[in-house]
A = this chain, B = another copy of it.
Amino acid sequence: MGTHPTDTDTGTAPGGGLDLDGLLRRGTARDWRTVDPDDVDPVRFAVIGLGWFTRGRALPALADSDYCEPAVMVSGSPGKAERVAADHDAVAVTYDEFLEGAAVEAYDAVYVVTPNALHLDYCRAAAEFGKAVLCEKPLERDSERAAELVEACADVPLYVGYRMQTEPAVRRARELVRAGYVGEPQAVQGSMTQRLLDRIDPNPDQWRLDEGLAGGGALFDLGVYPLNTTRFLLDADPVAAVGRTKATHDAFDEVDETASFTLQFPGDVDAHCFVSHNARHGSRLAVVGTEGRVAVEPAFFQDDDRVLHVSAGDTETSIRFDRVDQMREEFDYFADRLRSGEPMYADGEHGLFDVRAMEAIYESEATGGWVAIE
């Protein structure tokens, strides 16, 4: 389960030593780049699901991209599809029309950003049309459906939208860990908290609060960030989890408002994580090792600056990165890999593992103890 990528080993000085100078020089550079966008056709996207995140984040990134184009706008609402399509000189299609194969010649890939429980149907249809798939995380509402999704996409490229894996500060942090900067990792601390009800007011009844559509609450929405980014930083997958959730606000009568969990990684390295829709805005991820500590703080929210904090020996330093458009980095990585034919990562199995890990956390709440992640 979860072979991890090996295509980013650029952070190590010759001989496996430390190379902070190299890290500073690389900065926000796209170490993953394999093709020049001028040499290849742009990847034309059908964008499935036109909520606020799509309109505010994904479409501007696609419009700015040198590798990608927004080509088809797919929504449950014909009017919304038309309005958004008009803004992007794109084709408007309803959900049902998409499933029937509408405009199939107008796009090369799909970006699936519907409620979690709809990912399977749209990914399967796209795969049947022979299209490459970029699916938002978490992969589906439960591991059974996520496994079906992976199976359905077996013959097309499938990428899961973990934007942290193409975030430069996170990639640089990973290079440091790989280069032995912290020595042997001993523990991880991660958190991601926001006040969701402030943000979605006055429309609190959105799909993220609907268990049938979302599958989970804070754990699925936010917990996947420290969970997946820890896997990425450590190049390893957790073997067991313990955790629990709570909800205090009426809006969270179906899904968890807050989740607190510990993931046990190989070598008895524990990652302690806390995520909440009802706590002051903030995010951080730190790896503490025998020799040093590497932390990204702020870590996860797109609108925060990214700062990498590094301490080893007697010194500490903080490196602030110019902010990148995380969605554009993600789209461009996907398009680069699609055009070069190189393997893309995170793949479906990688995304499926996260869903299983989160289910283990929910199960742990019921059993009151550690649960193995299968």
Q: How many copies does the complex hold?
A: 2
B187:A260 contact, CB within 8 angstroms:
yes
Q: Is A26 an interface residue (CB 8 A)?
A: no
Q: Is A60 an interface residue (CB 8 A)?
A: no
The interface bits of chain A over 266-296 (1 if a CB of B lies within 8 angstroms of the residue's CB, else 0) are 0010101110101110100000111111000
Q: Which of A148-166 contact B (CB under 8 A)?
A: none
B268:A246 contact, CB within 8 angstroms:
yes
Contact among B182, B191, B195 with A290 in the assembled complex (CB-CB below 8 Å): B195
A292:B280 contact, CB within 8 angstroms:
yes
The distance in angstroms between the C-alpha atoms of A352 and B342, with both chains bound, is 60
The interface bits of chain A over 346-374 (1 if a CB of B lies within 8 angstroms of the residue's CB, else 0) are 00000000000000000000011110000
Contact among B191, B244, B369 with A268 in the assembled complex (CB-CB below 8 Å): B244
The interface bits of chain A over 187-199 (1 if a CB of B lies within 8 angstroms of the residue's CB, else 0) are 1010101010000
Contact among B273, B280, B291, B311 with A293 in the assembled complex (CB-CB below 8 Å): B280
Contact A289-B280, Cβ < 8 Å, known A260-B270, A272-B262, A274-B187 = yes
Contact among B242, B258, B274, B290 with A189 in the assembled complex (CB-CB below 8 Å): B274
Query: For chain A, what secondary structure do more than half of its interface residues adopt (helix, strand, loop), or is it mixed?
Result: strand
The distance in angstroms between the C-alpha atoms of A268 and B218, with both chains bound, is 15
Contact A288-B293, Cβ < 8 Å, known A268-B246, A270-B274 = no
Q: Is A183 an interface residue (CB 8 A)?
A: yes
Contact A280-B288, Cβ < 8 Å, known A191-B187, A370-B369 = yes
Q: Is A312 an interface residue (CB 8 A)?
A: yes
In the complex, how many angstroms separate the beta carbon of A370 from the nearest chain B beta carbon? 5
Residues of A within 8 A of B (CB): 182-184, 186-187, 189, 191, 193, 195, 242, 244, 246, 248, 258, 260, 262, 268, 270, 272-274, 276, 278-280, 282, 288-293, 311-312, 367-370
4 new A-B contacts, CB < 8 A, other than A184-B248, A187-B258, A270-B274, are A187-B276, A262-B272, A272-B273, A280-B292
